[in-house]
Chain A
Amino acid sequence: MALPPATDWSPLRISLETSVTATIITLAAGLAAAWWRERRHGTAMAFVDGICLLPLVLPPTVVGFFLLLLFGRHGLLGKLLLQLGTTVVFSWPATVIAAAVVSFPLMYLTARAALEQVDSRFLEAGRTLGASEWRVFAKIALPLAWPGVLAGTILSFARALGEFGATLMLAGNIPGRTATIPIAIYFAVESDDMRSAVAWCAADVAISLALLAGLYYWTQAQGLSREVRR
């Protein structure tokens, strides 16, 4: 097992790249699923909700194991990818897949709650004015649900940043390629490199604080501009 030297910044880069990419995927997929789900009723929808929320309630290692089965050599998607001459297991995309799957339920839940809060008469008004479903979503539902969607995005990003179990199962610990900060911390502690562990923990705290501070100032600014418009 190669030990990352303290001056190796790759876990920070990998963590940020992975989290940002996973959050973008989660945002798009979570919004699409929430918008699709929001306009439907029935008992079949409980099943859809169950599937969407499963990664939230399952231990990340279980999620990682399922992903490994799915993307492995004999897995449904793994075989498909193999035919295309590629594989994702133990590669950077695997860190993104693991982070996206694990953070998806948070996005789905908050986006649904935010869309549910939008008065359906606004959407109906848009439809009578000739707007397509896409336009109703983009110009009415999303702007009105925006604060909730943003909160979901930040939650998802934080969850993606902290992802460990599923990432380790699917992507492993390949320094410079799949070793994210949490994985670097784990293996640093494992090999008694306390200096690296503390450094990466400090980095994680700094990122989280920056995120929260950004969110705080953003909501303040929002409140302020709303006051001005009032």
Chain B
Amino acid sequence: MALEVQIEKKLAEFTLDVSFTAYDAPIGILGPSGAGKTMLLGCIAGLERPDRGRIVLGGKTLLDTERGIRLPARNRRVGMLFQHYALFPHRTASENVAFGLNHLAENERERRVRELLERTYAAGLENRYPRELSGGEQQRVALARALAIEPEALLLDEPLSALDTHLRSQMEAHLQETFAAYRRPTLLVTHNIAEAYRLGERLLVLSRGRVAAFGPREEIFRRPPTAEVARLTGCKNFSRARAVSDGAVEAIDWGCNLRIAQTLSGGVAHVGIRAHHIDFAEASGGTEERENTLPCWLASSSESPFHVTLYLRLHKPPDESRAHDLQAEVTKEKWERMKERPTPWRARLSPDALFVMPE
């Protein structure tokens, strides 16, 4: 089944102008808050009115402004999981799930509700009211409710953001399981980069109402098409750049020439590398070791439970401002070994890890 979306809607700050096609696999929609992610889901579900456009789901036209078709939300069969789940507070868990099933006979309806709650690991919560459920339990009931109508597409708006950290990974696993069984167009909105990557086989990066990137997740992370997409997918290191030969660029802000593996096509405006891809040479080696290797000093560092973020100054020791040129991420073990060594350290920017961006 395919979900074709092509819509335009003028908003206060910008125009939402999006087109893409989703097939039977989850797509992670990533973007800063206020990029239009929730509005996009609202337009597909029929809760918002796009100014112009066309939405076709499995051959059924949900919206076609040129032909004057605007199917109301109730006729779209698009399942929606709302950000804070929006369970009806005056109905029990099973009454919530049953809401979309009132066309069924009572015993059939009860059977379906039980089955759905079991499928989403919410069995046993039948008679509880939403306020008696934890965040994770609410999410499971809300998912069962959305799946009850046998939706032809599933939209999830920040499904994990309301949960405590320790619950998130468990709920993420449940979601992954649900997606694997569901196999219909699924859109998952999030502003968490790692979550988007783990749950979405493809990624759609939204920025100020426009599709900044859309494709397989590996590709978008490995070769972000623009500096904006690189930044939105968590890349910290950028330098202005220009091509010097077929396989090399000059990194202007980093004051060096770098060999790159990527074939250059079109213009080069920036070169970038992700923080965890920066390597540190143990000792001075041969010429190949020297290539793409820059002397650096530590300006500051920040420790996380399992890794350390290093803020590095290139070519000279840091001054009082503690300004840095590069941000690198190393494991705790590596950091323990490194911090004893005399500076300058030698940061290696592997040609495979570097990527260039036209814009």
On A, residues with C-beta under 8 Å from B are 119, 121-122, 124-132, 135, 139-140, 143-144, 229-230
Contacts and interface: CB of A to CB of B under 8 A. Distances in A.
B132 A127 contact: no
B72 interface: yes
B70 to A, nearest CB: 13
Cβ-closest 5 pairs across A and B = A129-B100, A127-B73, A121-B86, A125-B86, A128-B80
B47 A124 contact: yes
A144 B89 contact: yes
Contacts of B50: none
A132 B296 CA distance: 65
Nearest to A139: B99
A126 B99 contact: yes
Contacts of B77: 130
Given A122-B86, A125-B88, A127-B47, A229 B76 contact: no
Contact of A128 (B79, B87, B90): B79
A128 B99 contact: no
Given A121-B82, A125-B82, A131 B74 contact: yes
Interface string B57-74: 000000000000000111
A144 B90 contact: yes
Nearest to B76: A128
Nearest to A140: B88
Nearest to B90: A143
Contacts of B132: 229-230
Interface string B107-142: 000000000000000000000010110000000000
Give the most central of B45, B88, B148: most A CB within 10 Å: B88
Given A122-B88, A144-B90, A128 B45 contact: yes
Given A124-B47, A124-B82, A230-B132, A130 B149 contact: yes
Nearest to A132: B74
A17 to B, nearest CB: 33
Given A124-B47, A230-B131, A130 B86 contact: no
A140 B131 CA distance: 16
Given A124-B73, A230-B131, A129 B99 contact: yes
Contacts of B76: 128
Nearest to B84: A121
Contacts of A125: 80, 82, 86-88, 145
7 contacts: A122-B86, A127-B47, A127-B72, A128-B80, A130-B77, A131-B100, A140-B88
B73 A128 contact: yes
- Which of B73, B75, B84, B100 has the largest number of chain A CB atoms within 10 A? B73
B100 A130 contact: yes
A128 B89 contact: no
B35 interface: no
Contacts of B80: 124-125, 128
Nearest to B95: A139
A127 B46 CA distance: 9
Contacts of A129: 74, 99-100, 145-146, 148-149
A124 B129 contact: no
B78 interface: yes
A229 B129 contact: yes
Contacts of A126: 88, 99
Contacts of B86: 119, 121-122, 124-125
Nearest to B142: A125
A155 B120 CA distance: 46
Nearest to B145: A129
B357 to A, nearest CB: 39
Nearest to B45: A128
Nearest to B157: A121
A128 B47 contact: yes
A134 to B, nearest CB: 11
Contacts of B89: 122, 144
A143 B90 CA distance: 7
Nearest to A229: B129
Contacts of B146: 128-129
Which of A122, A129, A131, A229 is packed against the most chain B CB atoms within 10 Å? A129
Nearest to B48: A124
Contacts of B84: 121
A230 B159 CA distance: 25
A222 to B, nearest CB: 12
A120 B102 CA distance: 22
Interface string B208-252: 000000000000000000000000000000000000000000000
A130 B102 CA distance: 10
Contacts of A128: 45-47, 73-74, 76, 78-80, 146, 149
Nearest to B83: A121
Contact of A127 (B74, B79, B87, B90): B74
B145 to A, nearest CB: 7
Given A127-B74, A128-B46, A131-B74, 14 more contacts: A121-B82, A122-B88, A122-B89, A124-B73, A124-B80, A128-B80, A129-B99, A129-B145, A129-B149, A130-B100, A130-B149, A144-B89, A229-B132, A230-B132
Q: Which of B45, B74, B84, B149 has the most CB of A within 10 A?
A: B74
A176 to B, nearest CB: 45
A190 to B, nearest CB: 51
Interface string B24-51: 0000000000000000000001110000
